[in-house]
Amino acid sequence: MEIKIIDKSDWFSYQKLRLTALKVANESFGSTYEREVQLREQQIIERISPNSNKFFMGIFDGKELVGMVSFHKEIGEKERHKGDIHGLFIHGDYQNKGLAKLLLSSLINKVKEEYPDLEQIRLSVVSNNISAIELYEHLGFEKDGFEINSLKSGDKYFDEDLMILFLE
């Protein structure tokens, strides 16, 4: 297993895993399979290409992308001390092996190293995803709020817990 920054050469692997995530855990993401299956190669490359305020990190088993997460730093004058984690997903065949913890720990370490002025990392998680909430708490995240009916799929709503990690 190798953890590395996802770049434009990984666009096809990223899209394959992203579409899998949207199929099997659609309640956990703000987007939909139907929307993202229509994205073109260039749109995907633009999304995942790292810059000074964002990066996508993945776990690879050989050349196969099996887990991913993204980080986005706020750029506004009054918000640049914050960043957000989005889209954590580990392929079903690789779940319950500690890879999410490894991936998130790597992301947090990279953020601390590359953004020394960053004070907090935020994320949101579907409230009934107990295993994810326990993982985030184990890594030091604290519940900071709650959003009722945060996501809606068809006629079903999903609440989200808002969590925050204060960096030292």
Q: What is the mean pLDDT of residues 45-51?
A: 96
Q: What is the structure's pLDDT at 26?
A: 86
Q: What is the pLDDT of residue 83?
A: 97
pLDDT in tens, 113-155: 999 999 999 999 999 999 999 999 999 999 999 999 999 988 9
pLDDT of residue 154: 87
- CA pair distance 52, 32, nearest whole angstrom: 27
Q: Between 30 and 60, whose confidence is greater?
A: 60
Handedness of CA 78, 87, 126, 158 (dihedral sign): positive
- Catalogue all structural domains in the chain, each as residue range(s) with its CATH number: 2-166 (3.40.630.30)
pLDDT score at 41 = 95
Q: Within the chain, where are the H helices?
A: 11-24, 33-36, 41-48, 99-114, 130-138
Rama region for 141: left / alpha / beta (φ>0; ψ in -120 to 50; rest): beta
Name the pLDDT band for 69 (thresholds 50, 70, 90): very high
Q: How far apart are CA 51 and CA 73, in angstroms?
A: 10
pTM attached to this predicted model: 0.92
Query: For residue range 72-110, what is the model confidence (pLDDT) as tens digits?
Result: 999 999 999 999 999 999 999 999 999 999 999 999 999
Nearest-angstrom CA–CA distance, 85 and 24: 20
Give residue 168's pLDDT: 74
